[in-house]
Structure 1
Amino acid sequence: MSEKVALDTVLGKAMRILHAFAADDQTVSLAELVRRTGLHKATTYRLANELVQHRMLDRTEHGYRLSGGLFELGMRASVERSLLQVAMPFMQDLYERTHETVHLGVRDGHEVVYVAKIGGHRQARMPSRAGGRMPLHCTAIGKALLAHADPDLQNAVLTAPMARRTPHTIIAPGRLQRQLRAILEQGVAFEQEESTLGIVCAAAPVLLEDQEVVGALSVTGPTSRFRPEQHVAAIRAAAAGLGSTIQRRRNLGSGV
């Protein structure tokens, strides 16, 4: 076996260990890591301890947990960091206007990656978190991004099986396609309890002059008090302002 293939194999196994941690995990035992990864116990033990040495994991008396070294690496991701720096004032303003949870998301494949999340004391319980992922088809941010994606990507999402996360999740390709057309016309996407029961959301794409979509902003709240249609103007304005700022930075060669 060549050195490159051997290295790829080791890296792949190490990544399986890191990705075995779920969003809500505090500590995961060695036995559970073995179960989740399917790796041999000795291999899991050796690689986990190497990851500890490189500050990717911490070892505790009950097992392993993700380390601060991963957070440091994540903060060096230049595109997302630059986008977040420019977006934060717009997110804060949108939060002040709505007092509901505000998200910034980007597309990665068929998923939304949440770059940032702002929520106050009233924020509703929801599964989203900074660095977390959700399917495109069942979130307002995801649908806003998908509506402005290229036809090949849209077709790939529409023809693939779409997970039904709640009874309200839209999994019929024709119905989702009609929503995507409406999003292009109206400049806003809605989610009605499609990813999480009790949660509704509105999102607008962040577009540049050439209609390139670099992300999307959303406001999310509980069905008991939040009416997303009442905040469409504020969400559109925040997304448009962010897009204009990014465009100016790019025109000056300084930007995102």
Structure 2
Amino acid sequence: MLGRALRLLSEFRAGEHEVSLAELSRRSGVAKPTAFRLLGELVTWSIVERTSNGYRLGLRLFELGQIVPRQRELQESATPFLTDLHHATGETVHLAVPDGADVVYLQKLAVIGGPRIPSRLGGRMPAHATAVGKVLLAFGPPNLLEAALERGLPRRAPRTIAAPGLLRAQLDEIRELGWAEEHEESAPGVACVAAPVLAATGVAVAAISITGWSNRFTAARVIPAVRTAALGLSRTLTSDDVVHDVPGHNPR
């Protein structure tokens, strides 16, 4: 029952104000009578709220998300570095962590007039299609890359790397450089540079990125800034012992 309830919760999508019972049943594969019963239980606990035409995620779920200790502590430690980077570059800044073959965004500081970026706070993207993801694959534990290759490398945009051999070669280059670049691989018009946030073991626990318009984004201009921010956060986490293991270490 718990697994089916989680499947229902996983089918709510960003930007949807409500979802009908029939649609949640269709997306999740949970039979409509069972879905109705489970959603009723989730409503009782304020995990889900009933609306006039369906359901939406509830306040209690939001509250629980805010107290996840590892991500909250990482986000709080990163805020000064992200804010300084955002002000210094005038570009969109991200903080992301690995979760199997994906990355999950813990922070996003956007700019007015920037490109339409397919990322959101708490959202996820395939690791191979983003700069933060590629730097996490390059400096993370081997099982992250294994998870990505096992799932496959779907295209998010015309320039997304979809060949395993090409991805492996690029990750080797990223390890040598210490940073990753993405040029219209997650979405048209988007360019990005990312650097790893490293634990004391040298394994990446997060990544920081700067994103802008691909037609006027100069990687060389922002690489020193993003690497400095990532190094500063790495030192903070190591000295404060905030991060004890790798977020999302287990493949999904």
Structure 2 alignment gaps of length 5 or more: 244-252
Higher relative contact order (CA 8 A, sep 6+): 2
State the partner residue of 2:127: 136
Kindly report which structure 2 residues correspond to 1:153-168, keeping only aligned pairs within 5 A, or say none. 153-158=144-149, 160-168=151-159
State the partner residue of 2:94: 103
Q: Please give the secondary structure, in 1, of the residue aligned with 2:18.
A: coil
Does residue 192 of the first structure (1) align with residue 183 of the second (2)?
yes
State the partner residue of 1:174: 165
Aligned CA distance change for structure 1 residues 30 and 94 (closer, same or farther; 3 Å) = same
Q: Counterpart amino acid of 1:177?
A: R
Give me the whole-angstrom Cα distance separating, in 2, the residues matched to 1:199 and 1:164.
15
Does structure 2 retain, via aligned residues, the 8 Å contact 1:202–1:229? no
Structure 1 residue 141 displacement after superposition: 0.3
Does structure 2 retain, via aligned residues, the 8 Å contact 1:204–1:217? yes
State the partner residue of 1:215: 206
* TM-score in terms of structure 1 length: 0.90
Q: Counterpart amino acid of 1:12?
A: G
Residues 139-179 of structure 1 show CA distances to partners (whole Å, capped at 9, x for unaligned) of 00000000012334434534652101111011112221121
Kindly report which structure 2 residues correspond to 1:33-44, keeping only aligned pairs within 5 A, or say none. 33-44=24-35
State the partner residue of 2:239: 248
Q: Which of the numbers 223, 226, 235 marks the counterpart of 1:235?
A: 226
Does residue 73 of the first structure (1) align with residue 55 of the second (2)?
no
Please report the RMSD computed on the Cα atoms of aligned residues, expressed in angstroms.
Answer: 1.5
Q: Please give the secondary structure, in 1, of the residue aligned with 2:56.
A: strand
Aligned CA distance change for structure 1 residues 99 and 35 (closer, same or farther; 3 Å) = same
Give me the whole-angstrom Cα distance separating, in 2, the residues matched to 1:209 and 1:41.
49
Q: Counterpart amino acid of 1:98?
A: T
Aligned CA distance change for structure 1 residues 152 and 47 (closer, same or farther; 3 Å) = closer
Aligned CA distance change for structure 1 residues 73 and 184 (closer, same or farther; 3 Å) = same
* TM-score in terms of structure 2 length: 0.92
Structure 1 residue 117 displacement after superposition: 0.7
State the partner residue of 1:114: 105
Give me the whole-angstrom Cα distance separating, in 1, the residues matched to 2:149 and 2:40.
42
Give me the whole-angstrom Cα distance separating, in 1, the residues matched to 2:52 and 2:145.
47
State the partner residue of 1:201: 192
Q: Which of the numbers 2, 23, 26 marks the counterpart of 1:11?
A: 2
Does structure 2 retain, via aligned residues, the 8 Å contact 1:220–1:228? no
Structure of greater Rg: 1
Identity of aligned residues (%): 48
Residues 43-75 of structure 1 show CA distances to partners (whole Å, capped at 9, x for unaligned) of 111111211111111111121111121111111
Does structure 2 retain, via aligned residues, the 8 Å contact 1:219–1:228? no
Structure 1 alignment gaps of length 5 or more: 1-9
Does structure 1 retain, via aligned residues, the 8 Å contact 2:139–2:204? yes
